[in-house]
Amino acid sequence: MSQKIKTALISLSDKNGIEKILRVLKKFNVKIISSGGTYNEIKKLGFNCIEVSKYTGFEEMLDGRLKTLHPKIHAGILNKRSNRNHKRQMNRKKFNNIDLIIVNFYPFQQTIQKTKNFKKIIENIDIGGPTMVRAAAKNFNDVSIITDKKDYGLLISELNKNKGSTSLKFREKMASKAFGLTAYYDSIVSNWFNKKLNIIFPETITVFGKKISELRYGENPHQKSSIYINDLLNEELGLRKIKGKALSYNNYNDIFTGLEILSSFKKTGTVIIKHANPSGASINSSPIKSFRESFSSDPVSAFGGVVACNFKINRKIAKEMSKVFFEVILARKFDKQSLKILGQKKNLILIDISKFKHQKEYQIKQFDSSFLVQDKNKLILKKKGLKIVSKLKPTKKEVRSAEFAMNICKFVKSNSIIIANNFSTVGIGAGQPSRVDSCKIAVQKAKKFQPKKLRNSVAASDAFFPFSDGVKKLIQAGVKVIIQPGGSIRDKDSILAANKAKVKMIFTGIRHFNH
């Protein structure tokens, strides 16, 4: 069912692109109502327009807070054109229909990004705009609502095609988009208040998101996927893709895991990710050594993985990286020579992470109609809470090495075991239902790729050892320091095995499951 556009109300914070709309409205003799800056802009562009206050007979008040909130405006939007009773009421009041609303809101999100001035922020919470949008979207059967500049072209095409009218299908689609916008806008305001008041777990929660792009595919090629940004202070991820093919769901999953681990490094480091688990990680004052060590941890699993570095890639490092097939390389900038070298790898994706910042203090996991929310696991261990439970005491360097191993351990899917030497991983056992199986995998990896580094190595476990079998497996491989939460009813068996083998054991009292 087509609906003729006779009167339009335009109220815009962002006025870019409006001239094209005004031309087509003039073509079809559409009467235009507007207010404030939008009214001035329309007049400046040379188009006829009636001011809202003149249309309603009611002057703006409360410093502009009250403009469009008037019965003549909302009756014009909300009345059902086919309803005789509505028509009689409109005639009695001498109110006219308003058939098209073009609105975008006060820039609340942009305001909180630019200032901390509370009064200014509050004044940029739009009331009249969202109210008109909701009214028009509800009455989509008779009214067209445009809330996005990207849809100006669609509106122009629709009006030209239908000789000044819009189709029901078009109006319904725009209404759906409009309700999405009002929900998004209110969610940003709500989340800003929660952040200001440090409320992490409110009674009701809304999760907003703005679509960045559709992805190459989801976890598998037959699945579709898109990425959204959920950030009050940024409208971009801070990840600048320099070259390479479009990213997939799995690429982003690995990228985010790499970024989380990098954020925990206080020194120069590299981590290589495969299927959301690190295959290797290393911190070293030499960037190229940190890459080599992380790669050596498991060169087989590193194939096709994501490399994440917290340093700038130079020619020497690029030459080393180019010897291996990686899907993605993340770094804090790439110099010109490195780009020439890595640019020769056709499908390799290069991303500059120098402007990426972690913003969230919590994590969300969704399952069907429910989701879980928790604060982030930022803790590794509390040094004052450490208990040396073995007869032999670790050195300060061994404690630091154990801390490094435990830090990597908390990012690995549970059950997880990390074997490390000199602040680099040499064996990673991940995602096993049995802890002893994770120990076996970590040892097997180390024996296969870096057997010499098993001697005098450090092992970390994300949770306690329920039996001493896992501890014994690590000791037999050459591990000399074991760090774990402790808390098993059989802790004594593990301590006994450590003392018997002259191995040092540290209890942290802190579990690090990652599911």
Shared-domain flag, residues 481 and 345: no
Total domains, the chain = 3
| CATH number, position 347 | 3.40.140.20
Domain span including residue 447:
383-507
Answer yes or no: is 363 within a domain: no
pLDDT in tens, the chain (515 residues): 777 889 999 999 888 889 999 999 999 999 999 988 888 999 999 899 998 888 887 777 787 777 777 888 888 999 988 899 998 988 988 889 999 999 998 888 888 888 889 889 898 888 888 999 999 999 999 999 999 999 999 999 999 999 998 999 999 999 999 999 999 999 999 999 998 998 888 998 888 888 999 999 999 999 999 999 988 887 888 999 999 999 999 999 999 999 999 999 999 999 999 999 999 999 999 999 999 999 999 999 999 999 999 999 999 999 999 999 999 999 999 999 999 999 999 889 999 999 998 888 888 888 888 989 898 999 999 988 899 999 999 999 999 999 999 999 999 999 999 999 999 999 999 999 999 999 999 999 999 999 999 999 999 999 999 999 999 999 999 999 999 999 999 999 999 999 999 999 999 999 999 99
- Residue 296 is predicted with a pLDDT of 97
Helix (H, G, I), strand (E, B) or coil at 84: helix
Q: Which sign does the torsion angle of CA 217, 218, 222, 224 carry?
A: negative
Helix (H, G, I), strand (E, B) or coil at 352: strand
Shared-domain flag, residues 53 and 109: yes
- Among 15, 138, 243, 289, the active-site one is 138
Q: Residues 168-172: contacts with CB within 8 Å, 24+ apart?
A: 168/1, 168/2, 168/3, 168/140, 168/141, 170/144, 171/3, 171/140, 171/141, 171/143, 171/144, 171/145, 172/140
- Residue 329 is predicted with a pLDDT of 98
Helix (H, G, I), strand (E, B) or coil at 287: helix
Answer yes or no: is 216 within a domain: no
Report the half-sphere exposure of 134 (CA within 13 A, side-chain side): 12
- Among 241, 275, 312, 413, the active-site one is 275
Shared-domain flag, residues 70 and 162: yes
**How close are the terminal C-alpha atoms of the chain, in Å?**
52
Helix (H, G, I), strand (E, B) or coil at 245: coil
Shared-domain flag, residues 345 and 387: no
Answer yes or no: is 300 within a domain: yes
Residues 179, 145: Cα–Cα separation, whole Å: 10
Evaluate whether 478 touches 360 at the Cβ level (below 8 Å). no
Answer yes or no: is 228 within a domain: no
At what angle are helices 469-477 and 491-500 packed, to 10 degrees?
20
Whether 138 is catalytic is: yes
Structure tokens at 328: 């993605």
Answer yes or no: is 222 within a domain: no
Task: Compute, in degrees rounded to 10, the torsion defined by CA atoms 465, 276, 376, 209.
Answer: -150
Answer yes or no: is 20 within a domain: yes
Shared-domain flag, residues 27 and 69: yes
Burial degree of 185 (CB within 10 A; 0-12, 13-18, 19+): buried
Structure tokens at 486: 């402790």
- Residue 236 is predicted with a pLDDT of 84
Q: Which sign does the torsion angle of CA 165, 168, 173, 176 carry?
A: positive
Instruction: Please name the amino acid found at residue 439.
Output: C
Evaluate whether 39 touches 49 at the Cβ level (below 8 Å). yes
Whether 512 is catalytic is: no
